[in-house]
Structure 1
Amino acid sequence: MAFRGPKVWLWRWRRNPLRRRADAMEAWVVLGAWLLTFVAGVVAGLVASRTVEHSLARERAEWRPAVALVTEKAPGAAAGHGARPTTERVWTEVRWTGPDGSRHSGQARVAPGSAVGTAITVWNDPQGHLVTRPPTTTQAQLRGAVIGVLLGVSAAAVPLIGGRLLCARLERRRMDRWDEEWARFGPMWGRMTW
């Protein structure tokens, strides 16, 4: 392991007769990679977060609840008077009237054993298709933040990895030059002059 002296900040930008052009170039590559990493991560994260929140806000504005009626008995046993209520849901056929007055039918989740004619609430889009319940504002903000962080970290990894690869290539090139110079001047170390 090579001996390293005390760490000197910004040594690659300081005037020094031992500083090589490759050292200055590597310093600029590292600085550029870190700046691009920060900017790419923040911008991608914020754009993704706002896009997700905007999309979910549009869903909240456009999707409407509707009352649907069960058209066939739901599988399973209905909860009786002595039974505990359960959160389990089963799929069954339901029908509802869309926002434009047209009749629709489809599959929805209901309590086990629901009888024909049982009213349930379903959500539909402007075309009358069944959709899930839209997330609340808080859920949308949380989902937007999580997706923004994940996408921001992913976007930040690209310039960071690119900078590391470029620095590794510069290091390899520097070592190759060192080997060439050593091959040229190494034999001179064996001659002794008195």
Structure 2
Amino acid sequence: MAGETPPAQPPPGPPPRPLLWRWRHNPLRRRTDTLHAWIGLGALIAVLAVAPVAAVLVGDAARRHYEDTARHQNLTRYETTGTLTEDAPRHPEPGSDEERKTRYPAEVRVVTREGRTRTMRTEVRPGLTADNTVRLWITADGEATDPPLSAEEVRSRTMGWSLLAAIGVALTGAAAHALAGLALRRRNLADWDTAWAETAPRWTTPT
């Protein structure tokens, strides 16, 4: 219709630009471009500063937790000998590497420290027959359980939590930068609409 201002058409997505283009002086650079660059630099510095600290703090907390867990397990668990009361299943590939790593649940009879005879299920090598003896860990209550955490397991879990903490900080910084970029893009579009509303009437001719 005559006299109507056509809707603003935002510019297409930004073409590939050289590295650090937001820092270079040029007539097309907007204040939001410079602001976005400073936000990105600040996020990078923050991540580089905070990630190592977070990794150390989280790793130290995880190490103390798992060391306490290992000490408690060593106090409340002990290794003993059990006797199979049934044949363990045979592996379909005897002599293979997989057979050496595979364990099957089987019923064993154990005499606890208190002299009580208990029957329980535990993981054993495939192919063992009844009356064979196996080593297993049991709790103070006489239940089969896993061995206490080893020093290597404590180190591995500690390193895992440290790495997760560092990655978490990096992802948080990236998310903050992305959200800032989205907010600045919306601001640019709003400014574009305002500028177009002022300019478009000069380009329209009444009919």
Shift of 1:186: 5.6
SS at match of 1:92: strand
Provide the residue aligned with 1:123 in structure 2. 137
**Normalising to structure 1: TM-score of the pair?**
0.64
Decide whether the 8 Å contact of 2:80 with 2:138 is kept in 1: no
Decide whether the 8 Å contact of 1:56 with 1:134 is kept in 2: no
Provide the residue aligned with 2:39 in structure 1. 29
Shift of 1:108: 0.8
Tell whether 2:129 aligns with 1:114. yes
Structure 2: 5+ residue stretches without partners: 1-13
SS at match of 1:73: coil
Aligned Cα RMSD in Å?
4.0
Shift of 1:109: 1.6
Percent identical across equivalent pairs? 22
Distance of aligned partners of 1:52 and 1:124 in 2 relative to their CA distance in 1, 3 Å threshold:
farther
Distance of aligned partners of 1:154 and 1:58 in 2 relative to their CA distance in 1, 3 Å threshold:
same
Provide the residue aligned with 2:52 in structure 1. 42
Shift of 1:158: 2.5
Tell whether 2:193 aligns with 1:179. yes
Cα distance in structure 1, aligned partners of 2:15 and 2:134: 74
Cα distance in structure 2, aligned partners of 1:108 and 1:55: 27
**Normalising to structure 2: TM-score of the pair?**
0.61
Decide whether the 8 Å contact of 2:88 with 2:124 is kept in 1: no
Shift of 1:139: 3.7
Cα distance in structure 2, aligned partners of 1:74 and 1:154: 48
Cα distance in structure 1, aligned partners of 2:170 and 2:164: 10
Moved more, 155-164 or 52-61: 52-61
Distance of aligned partners of 1:7 and 1:109 in 2 relative to their CA distance in 1, 3 Å threshold:
closer
Structure 1: 5+ residue stretches without partners: 78-82
Q: Aligned residues, how many? A: 180
Distance of aligned partners of 1:184 and 1:74 in 2 relative to their CA distance in 1, 3 Å threshold:
same
Cα distance in structure 1, aligned partners of 2:69 and 2:85: 30
Tell whether 2:174 aligns with 1:164. no
Tell me which amino acid in the other structure corresponds to 1:74.
D
**Candidates 156, 163, 168, aligned match of 1:142:** 156
Distance of aligned partners of 1:123 and 1:150 in 2 relative to their CA distance in 1, 3 Å threshold:
same
Distance of aligned partners of 1:127 and 1:24 in 2 relative to their CA distance in 1, 3 Å threshold:
farther
**1:81-104 deviation per Cα after TM superposition (whole angstroms, max 9, x unaligned):** xx96952432212243556x3745
Distance of aligned partners of 1:163 and 1:51 in 2 relative to their CA distance in 1, 3 Å threshold:
same
